[in-house]
Amino acid sequence: MTIKIRKMVANDWNDVKEIYEEGIYSKNATFETQAPTYEKWMESAHPECHLIAEEKDQVLAWAKVLMTSARPVYAGVGEVSIYVHPSAKGKGIGKRLLNELINVSEEQGFWTLKAVIFPENQASISLHKSCGFRLVGTHERIGKMDGVWRDNVVFEKRSTTVGIE
């Protein structure tokens, strides 16, 4: 398997959207109930920190860093989002992609990345831990899904090269 990781472009949107919708249907990846438009999708994403993993022109996974605040003091803090197509899970693609996203984010000046994950999503928790994220805490009953309160666990990764002065 020859996996290529590159910056996402607009032509990737249909594949990215399909993978995102798989996450929506799983009910363990996001509180969202439908995918947004491409324009809305890109509003909060850092333009240089939006990657895809592909094989033979087929998008297998995507990852991006979302801006967490417009306040300058938080310019180096971003939230990671990563989704792997169900048929590509368990092949190490997510780990390769997340590690590359970490590298790209540091090149863009991010000193802290956070991930907010449903505690039931053990695959995502394991992935983030394997890439150096640490558990910070739990947002208890942070939102309702289908009328049921859900928790989120919060992980973060602090750069060892950016923001260390």
Confidence (pLDDT) at 44: 85
State the sign of the Cα–Cα–Cα–Cα dihedral 31, 33, 37, 40: negative
pLDDT at res. 74: 94
Q: Find out whether 63 and 97 touch, Cβ atoms under 8 Å.
A: yes
Q: Are 96 and 127 in contact (CB under 8 A)?
A: no
- What residue ranges define each of the domains in the chain, with the CATH number in brackets? 4-158 (3.40.630.30)
Give the Cα separation of 44 and 39 in Å (integer): 10
What does the pLDDT profile of the chain (165 residues) look like in tens digits?
A: 699 999 999 999 999 999 999 999 999 999 999 999 999 999 889 989 999 999 998 999 999 999 999 899 999 999 999 999 999 999 999 999 999 999 999 999 999 999 999 999 999 999 999 999 999 999 999 999 999 999 999 999 999 999 987
CA 30 – CA 36 distance, rounded (Å): 13
pLDDT score recorded for residue 164: 83
CA distance 47 to 37: 16
Sheet hosting strand 45-55, strand order edge to edge = 4-7, 45-55, 58-67, 77-84, 112-117, 148-158, 134-145
Q: What is the pTM of this model?
A: 0.95
How far is 89 from 165, CA to CA, in rounded Å?
A: 38
